[in-house]
């Protein structure tokens, strides 16, 4: 029986990934970065350190990497401030169900807390009070795909791994869940994860409504 649900933030709890890609596309055009749309999809779900290494391999200089990150970040924050970034479909209903049934909730993201705080403050309906545990990327020595962030969330919840379920949308997020030895559900978003044979997921859902329905059927 599931006694805890651990949410990823970007692309799972909120629809930031699609808007993040839009911000990157605008930054690419603005500064003429040699990045393709496929390159931009590869940024989804990775930690800040991984993002720097990923971009450095493509942009070649740290000056370009820093410009790319800062430009895309500012464009994304402008998008968030305009109220465009929203909770994903069914999230409020799933959270409400979990609270009603006494299922603990955690948020576990590779995004560093200062940046995450900036944009989630603009997301209508988001509240820290919905979660028993909040883990941000700067609370861990290693970001996803390292399992540390999920292990920290599970330990803080103090619920056995076999009674936890992670909700993720990204390749690196699911890989981190696999390495933490915690069951994970792929919530479909931007990236087709069927092309990554090195990851495994126990469940596939279209959205959080489906997660709620599944939990209801397994009470």
Positions annotated as catalytic residues are 8
Note whether 186 and 201 are within 8 A (CB): yes
The residues, any chain, with a CB within 8 Å of residue 1's CB and separated by 6 or more, are: 163, 218
Total residues belonging to the chain: 219
Calpha distance 77→117 (Å, rounded): 11
Q: Among positive and negative, which fits the CA dihedral 191, 196, 198, 201? A: positive
Residue 92: both structure tokens together: 């409020």
Q: Among positive and negative, which fits the CA dihedral 85, 91, 93, 98? A: negative
Note whether 147 and 110 are within 8 A (CB): no
Calpha distance 97→218 (Å, rounded): 13
Q: List 204's β-bridge partners, or say none.
A: 186
**H-helix or E-strand spanning residue 107:** strand 104-108
Place of tokens 């379920």: 165
């Amino acid at each position: 029986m599931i006694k805890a649900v651990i949410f990823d933030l970007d692309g799972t709890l909120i629809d930031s990934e699609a808007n993040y890609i839009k911000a990157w596309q605008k930054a690419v055009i603005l500064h003429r970065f040699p990045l393709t749309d496929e390159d931009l999809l590869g940024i989804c779900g990775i930690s800040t350190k991984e993002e720097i290494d990923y971009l450095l391999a493509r942009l070649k200089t740290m000056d370009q990497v820093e410009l790319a990150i800062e430009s895309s970040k500012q464009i994304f924050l402008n998008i968030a401030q305009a109220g465009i970034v929203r909770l994903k479909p069914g999230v409020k209903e799933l959270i409400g169900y979990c609270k009603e049934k006494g299922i603990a909730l955690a948020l576990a993201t590779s995004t560093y807390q200062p940046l995450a705080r900036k944009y989630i403050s603009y997301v209508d309906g988001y509240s820290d009070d919905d979660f028993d545990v909040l883990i941000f990327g700067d609370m861990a020595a290693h970001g996803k795909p390292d399992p540390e962030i999920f292990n920290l969330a599970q330990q803080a919840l103090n619920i056995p791994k076999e009674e936890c379920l992670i909700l993720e949308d990204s390749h690196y997020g699911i890989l981190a869940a696999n390495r933490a030895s915690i069951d994970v559900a792929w919530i479909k978003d931007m990236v087709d994860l069927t092309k990554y044979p090195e990851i495994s997921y126990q469940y596939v859902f279209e959205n959080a409504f489906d997660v709620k329905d599944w939990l209801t059927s397994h009470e």
